[in-house]
Structure 1
Amino acid sequence: MGLWSWRKRGPKAARRYPVPLTAHQLWMVSLSAPVSRDKSASRSTLYPFVRIDDDSARQWLAEQWGISTRAALVDRLDDLSRTGYRARAHRLTGVSPLAWDAALYVDISRRGFACGLLDEGDAWTALKNIVPSVVRTYASWHEYADHYLLGRQVWQDGLRGTPDADFPAPQATADAHLRALLDPANRTSPWNQAPWSAISSPDRTRGTRE
């Protein structure tokens, strides 16, 4: 079944979008890297999957977020940018983990682009809109990762006793994924390819697509 599922997807996303991302673009896409754990996920393109799979993006938005229209997508992005889950986290911990909301914001924007709710220009504009608050809040990918995990833990705790309690991946899985992203020896990590300081430096074109 897994093999059939893979074959029914389209060509590699890099063939449809062949221009490599600039340093700033990769940095913005990389804000959603903590969410992108699946092997089918792309961490170096605006399109969220390695292969074209618009239906998966559409299904995920509808089932997990109740998003099926552009208006609903814009409303959700506005909520995540203004308050999101960090408002509840602040009440419980005294800390507002913007990173959790930012990662979800970028992930939703990319999936919205994949299924046609946002065109490419609007998707990049959405990602640019979250950058200033993230840069003001954090000074490194390490700080960003720490707050992402805090936000995820508060969200996961909030699911206890609900039908969705078993939905999240184990915390150990999220921890391992973040360690891999932060590992300086991991050449495939987008956080190593686009260091935190890249967004504050002049943008540059990058060579070949990773």
Structure 2
Amino acid sequence: MALFRWKRRGPKAARRYPVPLTTHQLWMVSLSAPVSRDKGASRTTLYPYARIDDDSARRWLADQWEITSREQLVDRLDELSRSGYRARAYRLTGVAPLAWDAALYVDIARRGFGCGLIGEGDAWTALKNIVPAVARTYSSWQEYADHYLLGRQVWREGLRGSEDSELPASQAVADAHLRALLDTENRSSPWNQAPWDTISHPDRTR
């Protein structure tokens, strides 16, 4: 008989971080919602998972980004904020999809916080740094989603020799995930909980 080693589930992240996000904080976290497709992902907390799983955050950063130190994390965030993938996209399409880089930026910052490479205060500072550029570039989550998909398509086309099925998620999966986020009837979507104009109004508790 085959033996299976079950991974012990960590406590709910809400127990470690019980204070709910303010409306501005939820909006900032929601910038990474297109990337947060995993079943165990949290889209309404700074911590990236619904349950505490620091090892997964650490492995993801190392495997996907070759980030294993605070310095590497900071350098990657700086690169994404300054040019990222949108520079290449602009050369190919004439459009610089900031949304793709912003989603990756926030995702990396949250995972860096999740595995302890940066503290909570530094993570929020990182997220706040990307807000002005995003807020003045887009006027809705729909526009943000459209540019995210454009950036993803340029990135995917750059992975020559890779089949779509070998990527972290197929384009069809990414499309479906964004449709769910934009669905006005989807109460669990953070984009419905924090509409786009939220960031333009005074912050408040939720």
Cα 1:150–1:3 change in 2 (3 A) is farther
- The answer to which of 168-177 and 118-127 deviates more is 168-177
Q: How does 1:134-145 map to 2 (within 5 A)?
A: 134-145=134-145
| Aligned-residue offset at 1:191 | 0.1
Q: How does 1:121-132 map to 2 (within 5 A)?
A: 121-132=121-132
| Aligned-residue offset at 1:170 | 1.0
May I ask how many residue pairs the two structures share in their alignment?
Answer: 204
Q: Deviations over 1:78-120 (max 9, x none)?
A: 0000000000000000000000000000000000001001100
Identity of matched residues, %: 78
Tell me the C-alpha RMSD between the 2 structures: 1.7
Q: TM-score, normalised by structure 1?
A: 0.94
Cα 1:2–1:85 change in 2 (3 A) is farther
Structure 2 match to 1:176: 176
Structure 2 match to 1:101: 101
| Aligned-residue offset at 1:176 | 0.4
1:52 equivalent in alignment to 2:52 = yes
Mapped partners of 1:2, 1:196: distance in 2: 45
| Aligned-residue offset at 1:167 | 2.2
What stretches of structure 2 of length at least 5 have no aligned partner? none
Moved over 4 A (4+): 162-165
Mapped partners of 2:50, 2:162: distance in 1: 33
Mapped partners of 1:158, 1:175: distance in 2: 19
Mapped partners of 1:116, 1:15: distance in 2: 17
Mapped partners of 1:145, 1:69: distance in 2: 30
Mapped partners of 1:114, 1:163: distance in 2: 31
Q: Deviations over 1:156-195 (max 9, x none)?
A: 0100225998223110100000000000000000000000
Query: For residue 30 of structure 2, what is the amino acid of its counterpart?
Result: S
Mapped partners of 2:5, 2:149: distance in 1: 32
Q: TM-score, normalised by structure 2?
A: 0.96
**Contact 1:156 1:165 (8 Å CA) reproduced:** no
What stretches of structure 1 of length at least 5 have no aligned partner? none
Q: Deviations over 1:101-160 (max 9, x none)?
A: 000000000000010011000000000000000001000000000000000000001002
